[in-house]
Structure 1
C-alpha cells in the first residue's frame, strides 16, 4: 500500500487519544490528521480534511459513536474501526456498530494502556490498513423469501488435524444437504442480508465469521431475532438440520462431522489456521470430506485468503461453490483468492446469494 492513510481518532479519553496516536504514528504509511473528544468536534475537523479511516469509540458525550457512525454511513461512507472494551456491554455495542457499517474493531483495555501500546499496536495498525482497503456499504434489510416473515469439546485441533479426514459415521452415504459459509470483514452485514431472506424451512447452515469470543454469541442472538430460521452460536455436538444456522464460536474452530445420516458439528480448540480461530479453511475442508457433492460452499467479503483452499477442496469433492462478487464486497479478498484457485463455480452479487441457497435446497 503506497499511499498515505489519513486517520481521525475519536475518543473522549485524552490518554487513549494520545496512546492511539502514538501507535499509529509509528507507521510511515499512516498519518493521524486529527483527534477529537466527541463526534461533534470530530465533524468540525472532518470539514477541514476528510479522513481515509476513522478510529471510533462508542461511548462518548454529546453524541454516541453509533449515532455518529450511522450519520457518516448515510452521508459519506468511510471506513470505521471501532475501538471498544471487550466487556459484555462493550461487545453488544460493538455488534451494533458492525451492523451499522463499521468494518472492523480492536479491543481497548479498561486498564493497562502501556501494555496495549506494546502488545496490540500491530493489531491496530493492521486493522487501520485493512480498513483503508475496504469499501464500506450500507445494506438494507433483505426481503424475506417466505410469504411472511456451552458445553465445548475437550478435544484439541492440531494443524495436522485440519487435513485429516473427518469420521463418516455409520453410513457411507447420505442425501442430507448442508450449506457452509465463510466470511470476515463486512460479513456481519452480508450475513444479515442473506439469512434474513431465507424461509423458515431451508438447508442446514454452518458459518465461520471471523470474530473473537463473546462477540459470536451476541451476533448469533441478534440474527436470531431478525431471521425466520433459527440462528445460534454452535455447541459441540449440535445437529445441523433444516431451518438452523450454526455460527462457529469465537476463539474456537468448528468442523462438520456425521453421525449416521445426520450432520453434526465439532467445536474444537487448537492453534489459529491462516491466523484465524475460527478458520474458514478448517470448516470447509471438513465439509468437503463429510458432505462432498451434497454441500454448497459460499465464500464472502473478507480480507486475506482463509477459506480459499478449503473451498477448492469442496469444489474438487463435487460441491457447488459460490463467491460473492467484487462489486458487492466490502473487501474483495477471500473471494478473489478462491477465484484464483479456480474454486468458485459462479460469482454472484450479495442480493442474489439467498435465492441460490433456496434453489439448492429445493432441487433434487
Structure 2
C-alpha cells in the first residue's frame, strides 16, 4: 500500500521536527516535505504532490489563511488540516480557514505539557485524522446524494399515525462540523419551536467562537452552554470544549449540566452522554441528528433514543467530510432517514412543526 504523503507547513522549527518525526514513525505515512511559510509551501505543492497538508495558521510572509486561499483553487480535493493555537485569535482564524475550505483543524502542539505529551497527542489524535481524511475518495467518485429511509416501518407509520411531537433537537457532529452547522442553521426559521442542544468536537475557546459565528449568520441564537442554563425554545446550546453536556429535569423545566467526567470515544465533549440524557428526559419527543465526523461517537446514544421512541436523522456519505459518525448510525439501522446536508434543515423543520399546525 502506498504511503500517505504529507507536507508540514509551520514557521517553528521545533514543531516541524516533532510532527515530522512522529508522523514518519507510522508505516502508513511519509512526510515528503516541510515549509516555513506559505510561499515555500505553494512552491513545493506541484512537485511533492502531497496527499494531505498540515498548515499553520500564524506564519510570516504568507500566513495560513492567505496560503489556503491560493492553495484551494489549484488543489481543491487535497485535505488541509490547520494547526491553530488555543487562543481566541487562533479559534477565530481557524473557523475562517474552515470557511475557506480547510478540511479539519488541530490544536498546535506546545511545550506546556511537555514534548512527550505532544508526541502522544500527535500519535493518538492527529495520525488517525490524517489516515481518515487522506483516504477519502475524490468527490466525483463518491456516492450520489440520495434520501434513504433506513427504518422500514417509518413509511408505513407515516400513513397510519402521526410521528411523535418533537420536543427537542439534539445534534452530534465532528470533522467538517462548523460548516455543516452553518448551512443547517441558515435553513432554520426564527420561530424554531423547540430548544436545540449540540455537541461539536472542539477544544475550549473554539466552541465559544463557533456559537458566535452561528448566531451572527443565522436566525437562531446560539450560546456556549453554562452549568444550570435553562433550555429555551428556539435557542441553541453548544457544549463547551473539554466539558460533557448533559440535561437535567427539575419540575417542568430542563437545565444544562456540565461535567468533566472521563472522555467517551476519546472525546470530551462527547455526543453519547448528551444523547443518553436527551433520551431519558424526552423519550419519544427527541429528534437526533448526526452529522459529519470521524469515529462512532453518538452511536450508543442513538440506540437509547431509538429504544425510547425518538427519531433519528443522519447526514449521507456524499455530503459528509467523513462518514464515520453518521455512517455508524446508518449501518446499525438506527436512522429513520439518511439525507444530504442540503435537505436536513427542511426535514427537521417539517418534523418539529408536524404536530403544531405549522406554527
Q: 1: distance between equivalents of 2:265 and 2:118? A: 25
Q: 2: distance between equivalents of 1:219 and 1:337? A: 25
Query: Which segment is superposed worse, 106-115 or 30-39?
Result: 106-115
Q: 2: distance between equivalents of 1:221 and 1:196? A: 14
- What is the CA distance between 1:208 and its match in structure 2? 0.4
Pair 235,134 (structure 1): closer, same or farther in 2 beyond 3 Å: farther
Aligned pair 1:320/2:311, yes or no? yes
Pair 69,116 (structure 1): closer, same or farther in 2 beyond 3 Å: farther
- The normalised TM-score by structure 2 is 0.85
1:266-277 superposed matches below 5 A: 266-277=257-268
**What is the root-mean-square deviation of aligned Cα atoms in Å?**
2.1
Aligned pair 1:102/2:93, yes or no? no
Aligned pair 1:193/2:161, yes or no? no
Pair 243,54 (structure 1): closer, same or farther in 2 beyond 3 Å: same
Long gaps (5+) in structure 1: 138-173
1:1-364 superposed matches below 5 A: 2-75=1-74, 76-109=76-109, 111=111, 114-115=115-116, 118-122=119-123, 123-134=125-136, 177-202=167-192, 203-364=194-355
Q: 2: distance between equivalents of 1:251 and 1:26? A: 29
Q: 2: distance between equivalents of 1:111 and 1:273? A: 26
Query: Which segment is superposed worse, 203-212 or 18-27?
Result: 18-27
Asked whether the equivalents of residues 176 and 262 of structure 1 are also in contact (C-alpha less than 8 Å), the reply is: no
Q: 2: distance between equivalents of 1:286 and 1:327? A: 30
Pair 175,117 (structure 1): closer, same or farther in 2 beyond 3 Å: closer
Asked whether the equivalents of residues 177 and 204 of structure 1 are also in contact (C-alpha less than 8 Å), the reply is: yes
- What is the CA distance between 1:263 and its match in structure 2? 2.7
- The normalised TM-score by structure 1 is 0.84
Q: 2: distance between equivalents of 1:315 and 1:181? A: 15
Count, aligned residues: 327
| Alignment deviations for residues 9-61 of structure 1 (CA, whole Å, 9 cap, x no partner) | 11122332222211211111111111112222212211113211101001122
Q: 1: distance between equivalents of 2:10 and 2:138? A: 21
- What is the CA distance between 1:134 and its match in structure 2? 4.5
- What is the CA distance between 1:209 and its match in structure 2? 0.4
- What is the CA distance between 1:90 and its match in structure 2? 1.9
Q: 2: distance between equivalents of 1:322 and 1:73? A: 31
- What is the CA distance between 1:198 and its match in structure 2? 0.9
What secondary structure, in the 3-state scheme, does the structure 2 residue paired with 1:198 have? Answer: coil
Q: 2: distance between equivalents of 1:84 and 1:136? A: 26
Q: 2: distance between equivalents of 1:176 and 1:81? A: 37
Q: 1: distance between equivalents of 2:200 and 2:137? A: 18
Q: 2: distance between equivalents of 1:111 and 1:280? A: 30
What secondary structure, in the 3-state scheme, does the structure 1 residue paired with 2:318 have? Answer: helix
Pair 32,210 (structure 1): closer, same or farther in 2 beyond 3 Å: same
Long gaps (5+) in structure 2: 140-163
Q: 2: distance between equivalents of 1:325 and 1:7? A: 28
| Alignment deviations for residues 310-362 of structure 1 (CA, whole Å, 9 cap, x no partner) | 11211221111101001000000111111222110110000001111211221
- What is the CA distance between 1:270 and its match in structure 2? 0.6
